[in-house]
Amino acid sequence: MTKLKCISPIDGSIFAERETLSLEACAEAAARACTAQVDWGARSIRERADLVLAGIEAVGAMNDEIVPELARMMGRPVRYGGEFRGFSERGNHMADIAEETLADIEVGDDATARRYIRRLPWGLVFVVAPWNYPWMTAINTVAPALIAGNTVMLKHATQTLLVGERMARAFHSVGIPEGVFQNVFLDHDTTHSLIAGRHVDFVNFTGSVGGGQAMERAAAGTFVPVATELGGKDAGYVLDDADLDAAVDGLMDGAMFNAGQCCCGIERIYVHESLYDAFVEKAVAWVKALKLGNPLDPGTTIGPMAHARFARTVRDQIDAAVAAGATAHIPTDPADDGGAYMTPQVLTGVTHEMEVMREESFGPVVGIIPVKDDDEAVRLINDSRFGLTASLWTADLDRAARLGDRIETGTIFMNRADYLDPALCWTGCKDTGRGAGLSILGLQALTRPKSYYLKKATS
């Protein structure tokens, strides 16, 4: 048994700590969930959905406490008000579509037989959630899993240690049984053993590529399904007919919000050569207007990164790029402490030989490259081992759709970035992982099909 410690990026102090469960205790929790699933799965979809919606509202009632708690755990400025809007939007959408999505698929009913396909819950869904959007990423799976009749064990990231605990308290307060939704504190070895021992029926993991590989290794040979969303190196492309000011505002917000710590944050930008100089000038001015500081200060627009070691990775990428010939446009901010508080940066003169344009940064840095046409832009966007989203800025919807068909990602945005529409499937390709979150496909992924051929008796 070990202790998990959340180190606050505000001042490096220990904000929270919790003891991990032993494998025996974790297996007992899984057994309780499996027992609870029988009664939970027997309830109607509407009843389960209403309880989940009540749980979401109970979380909303805690929001005044949650917002500063998030700032202390992972550094997001309080001025942005937390995640409840997106948390609620996602949960409500999945509740709204559940009955229709999970209805039997009627194949035929004649004098000979009745035939249909029914969607059944997997059983126990194990959710491993990340720290960067700890509420919204968790609800992506927790809500549809519970509504579909599964029980859930939630293991949250150490950096946002208190999120799962608070969510469980809210859900239990409205009548969701404790065995149906459990928050657990686990170390890596116990997590591996939980999956490898087939104590769970479905795994949903959001995090790093290495973490996703560890989940798949744990499940190897068990046939337990593993869904993964492993981040990206998301690109923006500013076409020659783009609204320049809108493109600058949308893409730079996508690159810098949450200190760049967004799964679908913009990490590289390609601009048509006719707009390149003007775009760079405006982008640099946009970033210089940010105020780096304590996230508890309402005037702060960009807070510290969640941990000093994350900032170190980004600084190393920037330093290596500058050493290889790139230009850094933002002078060191007075609030930059060399640790978690990091100056946001815009780079030009970058190439795809540089790590900052190849590997996930997950921080407040973006490289900008001029391109001569759409073909060059598509080639560069696809020159990545990741494939989560791409953001296209143009007045021509048909042109964007044609380009989108050629770009290797799970989502194409036009004239916006860094948004998750719960009616659309959240998915990726290549090293971003595989899986289907939210939308009707997300509900279907959290259930298994069962076919019925009911031959009728004949006289």
Spatial contact of 298 and 78, defined as CB atoms under 8 Å apart: yes
The alpha carbon dihedral of 434, 40, 165, 139 has a sign of positive
**Antiparallel, parallel or unpaired: β 3-7 and 14-19:** antiparallel
Spatial contact of 163 and 134, defined as CB atoms under 8 Å apart: yes
Spatial contact of 159 and 6, defined as CB atoms under 8 Å apart: yes
Give me the catalytic one of 6, 26, 83, 229: 229
Mind spelling out the 3-state secondary structure of 312-358?
HHHHHHHHHHHHCCCEECCCCCCCCCCCCCCCCEEEECCCCCCHHHC
Residue 78, SS3 per DSSP: helix
* C-alpha dist (Å) from residue 348 to 250, 337, 351: 19, 24, 9
Which residue carries 């657990």 as its tokens?
184
| Closest C-alpha among 394, 385, 359, 377 to residue 269 | 377
Residues composing the chain: 459
Identify whether 262 is a catalytic site residue. Answer: no
Spatial contact of 381 and 270, defined as CB atoms under 8 Å apart: yes
Task: Look up residue 390 and give its two tokens.
Answer: 């791409």
Task: Look up residue 368 and give its two tokens.
Answer: 């900008």
Pairwise CA distance, residues 181 & 173, whole Å: 12
Q: Identify each DSSP E strand in 88-150 by its residue range.
A: 105-109, 113-121, 124-129
Identify whether 28 is a catalytic site residue. Answer: no
* C-alpha dist (Å) from residue 171 to 29, 61, 178, 438: 17, 12, 9, 20
Spatial contact of 234 and 389, defined as CB atoms under 8 Å apart: yes
Residue 90, SS3 per DSSP: helix
Q: How many CA atoms lie within 13 A of 311 on its CB side?
A: 21
Give me the catalytic one of 6, 26, 263, 264: 263
Reported as type and span, the H/E element at residue 401 is: helix 397-406
By annotation, the residues acting in catalysis are 229, 263
